Amino acid sequence: MSNPRAFISFDFDHNEPQKNYFVGQCKNSRVPFSVSDWSAKEAMPQSKWEQIVEEKMKKTNMCIVLVGKSMSSAIGVKKEIEMAKKNNVPVFGVYVDGANSSTTLPEGLPRSKTIKWTWEGVVEMIEWAKNEGKNKFVRFSGGVK
């Protein structure tokens, strides 16, 4: 079975270094999985951004929200979560940059699906997302895109 495609949602203004580190670690051979990063790579006009993100979200198996300390100001993250839910893409969060269980979460991201950043925990959540979005994962991993 191919590796899951994950849309990595993060606060572009505050947590890009953590996103780069997270994605880099996912590609590290010592980690028991890999994730294709389908998130936007640069800032762009709102209308273009929404169109591109929506199309990418439709082609992913899960949305991983990197929850930083400034998450309450990340309006784009809220929209990405809405797009994921609209397209039946499982969503979970990972605390980064000193964020924790008292950090304000973006609307739509349940605290019960937001975890401390440990690779064991991330693997568990990826397995949950694969099961939650089983039909979508089979469709994309089987070559139908």
Burial class (CB in 10 A: 0-12, 13-18, 19+), 1: exposed
Instruction: Tell me: pLDDT of 138 over 80.
Output: no
Q: How far apart are CA 145 and CA 139, in angstroms?
A: 7
Superfamily of domain 5-141: Hypothetical protein MTH538 (3.40.50.9200)
Task: Please give the pLDDT value at position 136.
Answer: 54
Q: Name the percent of the chain lying above pLDDT 70.
A: 83
Q: Per-domain residue ranges for the chain?
A: 5-141
Residue 19 vs residue 34, higher pLDDT: 19
Structure confidence by residue, pLDDT tens digits, 38-67: 777 777 788 888 898 899 899 888 999 999
Binned at pLDDT 50, 70 and 90, residue 105 comes out as: very high
